[in-house]
Amino acid sequence: MEDNYEIKKYQSSQKSLWDSFVKDAKNATFLFHRDFMDYHSHRFTDHSLLIYKDEKLVAVLPANISNTELHSHQGLSYGGLVLRKKATFEETFHIFKNLLLFLKTEGIEVLKLKLLPKIYHHLPSDAIDYLLFLVKASLIRRDITSCVLNENALRITSSNRLRGIKKGNKNELQIKEETNFKLFWNGVLEPNLKQVHNQKPVHSLEEIELLQSRFPKNIKQFNVYKNGQIVAGATIFEAAMVAHAQYISANEEGRQSGGLDFLFHYLLQHFSHKKYFDFGISNEAQGMKVNKGLLHWKETFGGRSIAHDFYEIKTENHHFLNDIFI
159: in domain? yes
149: in domain? no
3-state secondary structure of 1: coil
> Residue 3 has what pLDDT?
82
Cβ–Cβ < 8 Å for 99, 49: yes
> Residue 11 has what pLDDT?
97
Q: Which residues of 187-196 are buried (b: 16+ CB within 10 A; e: fewer)?
A: bbbbebeeee
Which has more confidence, 252 or 3? 252
258: in domain? yes
Confidence of residue 41 (pLDDT cuts 50, 70, 90): confident
> Residue 197 has what pLDDT?
81
Rounded-to-integer distance, Cα 22 and Cα 84, Å: 8
> Residue 179 has what pLDDT?
92
> Residue 42 has what pLDDT?
87
Same domain, 16 and 138: yes
Cβ–Cβ < 8 Å for 36, 50: no
- Residue 312: how many other CB atoms lie within 10 Å: 15
Same domain, 239 and 158: yes
Rounded-to-integer distance, Cα 106 and Cα 238, Å: 37
> Residue 5 has what pLDDT?
96
Same domain, 184 and 103: no
Please, where are the H alpha helices in 118-158? 127-134
Q: Is the pLDDT of residue 2 over 90?
A: no
> Residue 1 has what pLDDT?
77
Same domain, 257 and 128: no
pLDDT digits (tens, 9 = 90+) for 196-209: 888 899 999 999 99
148: in domain? no
35: in domain? yes
pLDDT digits (tens, 9 = 90+) for 107-153: 999 999 999 999 999 999 999 999 999 999 999 999 999 999 999 99
Same domain, 129 and 13: yes
Confidence of residue 17 (pLDDT cuts 50, 70, 90): very high
> Residue 196 has what pLDDT?
81
Same domain, 85 and 215: no
**How many separate domains does the chain show?**
2
Rounded-to-integer distance, Cα 36 and Cα 48, Å: 14
Rounded-to-integer distance, Cα 245 and Cα 232, Å: 13
Q: Is the pLDDT of residue 66 over 90?
A: yes
Same domain, 219 and 313: no
Same domain, 136 and 9: yes
> Position 210: which residue type?
L
Same domain, 226 and 163: yes
| Residue 127 φ/ψ region, left for φ over 0, alpha for ψ in the -120 to 50 degree band, beta for the rest | alpha
Same domain, 17 and 136: yes
The model carries a pTM of: 0.95
Percent of the chain scoring above 70 in pLDDT? 100
pLDDT digits (tens, 9 = 90+) for 95-108: 999 999 999 999 99
323: in domain? no
89: in domain? yes
Same domain, 58 and 183: no
Percent of the chain scoring above 90 in pLDDT? 96
Confidence of residue 30 (pLDDT cuts 50, 70, 90): very high
Mean pLDDT of 303-322: 97
- β-pairing, 242-250 vs 289-290, is unpaired
Domain interval for residue 248: 154-271
- Residue 136: which CATH number? 3.40.630.30
Q: Across the chain, what does the average pLDDT equal?
A: 96
34: in domain? yes
Same domain, 216 and 129: no
Mean pLDDT of 272-292: 96
- Name the DSSP letter for residue 187: I
